[in-house]
Amino acid sequence: MTPSRRHCLRALALGGLAAGLSACGFQLRSSGNYPFRTLYANFSATSPLGVELRRNLLGTGRIEVWTDPQQMLKADAILDIVSEERQQVVVGVNASGQVRELQLRLRVKFRLRTPQGQALIESVELSQQRDLSYTETAALSKEIEQGMMYRDMQSDIVQQIMRRLASVKVPAAAAAQP
C-alpha cells in the first residue's frame, strides 16, 4: 500500500470516528448556565464543604458569591446550607469486641431561594457513605484514609449541588422583579 493511500485511509477513519462521536451525543462536560449572576451563600468560611463549594462556584466565572449578610437582599439567589453532618458508625466487630469496619457518612441539607423567599430548590438532603475497614495496628493510616474518603464524598456532593444549581429555572415573576 502506498503512503499516500495509507494517509487517505487514516484520514477517512478519523473523520468517521469524529462523526460517530458527534452523532451519539457525546459532549465534554462544561460549566453550567446559571439563571443568576450573584449568589449569597450562608456557609461557614471554615467549613471544608463551604470552601470547596465557593471555589467551584467562582471557578465557573459566571457567578459572584457573596457571604456578607448585608448583601443578602441584593443577591439574585440565596443558597442556604441548612446542615452538614459527618458520622462514623461501627458496622463490624471481631469476637473480642474490637472494631473491624466503619461506615463513614456525610449528609448535607440545602435549599435555594430568592431574596423575597420564593423557593427555587426546596430543601434537599444529599448523602454519601463509604465503608472503611479498620485495624488498631494501622490507626494512623486509617485516619488518613478516613480523611481522604470524607474529601471524596464532599467533592461528590459539591458536584451534585453545582448540577442542581445549574438546572434551576427561575419563574418569570421572580426574574422580572428588580
Q: What is the pLDDT of residues 151-165, one digit of tens each?
A: 999 999 999 999 999
Beta bridge partners of 109: 83, 125
pLDDT at residue 125, rounded to an integer: 97
More confident residue, 12 or 162: 162
How, if at all, do strands 99-113 and 119-133 pair?
Answer: antiparallel
- Domain assignment of residue 89, yes or no: yes
| Any domain includes 8 | no
Query: How many degrees, rounded to 5, is the angle at CA 73 between CA 71 and CA 74?
Result: 65
Query: Which is higher by pLDDT, 45 or 128?
Result: 128
**In the predicted structure, residue 34 carries a pLDDT above the cut 50:** yes
Is the residue at 20 inside a domain?
no
pLDDT at 172 over 60: no
Is residue 166 over pLDDT 50? yes
21-30, 37-46, 166-175 — most confident range: 37-46
Q: What is the pLDDT of residue 132?
A: 93
Element (H, E) at 26: none
Global pTM reads 0.76
Whole-number Å distance between alpha carbons of 77 and 170: 10
Sheet hosting strand 38-41, strand order edge to edge: 64-66, 38-41, 77-93, 99-113, 119-133
The predicted pLDDT at position 5 comes to 74
Sign of CA dihedral 21, 22, 24, 29: positive
Name the average pLDDT for the chain.
85
Residue 1 belongs to a domain = no
Domain count, the chain: 1
Contact between 80 and 42 under an 8 Å Cβ cutoff? The reply is yes
Domain encompassing residue 76: 30-168
The answer to whether position 85 is within a domain reads: yes
Q: Determine, yes or no, domain membership for 97.
A: yes
Q: What is the pLDDT of residues 107-138, one digit of tens each?
A: 999 999 999 999 999 999 999 999 999 988 88
Residue 71 has pLDDT above 50, yes or no: yes
> What pairing do the DSSP bridges indicate for beta strands 64-66 and 119-133?
unpaired
Please indicate, yes or no, if residue 134 is contained in any of the structural domains: yes
Listed in order, strand segments (DSSP E) in the chain are 38-41, 64-66, 77-93, 99-113, 119-133
Q: Is residue 16 part of a domain?
A: no
What is the domain-level CATH number for residue 91? Answer: 3.30.160.150
Residue 176 has pLDDT above 50, yes or no: no
How many alpha carbons fall within 13 Å on the CB side of residue 160? 17
**Position with higher pLDDT, 27 vs 96:** 96
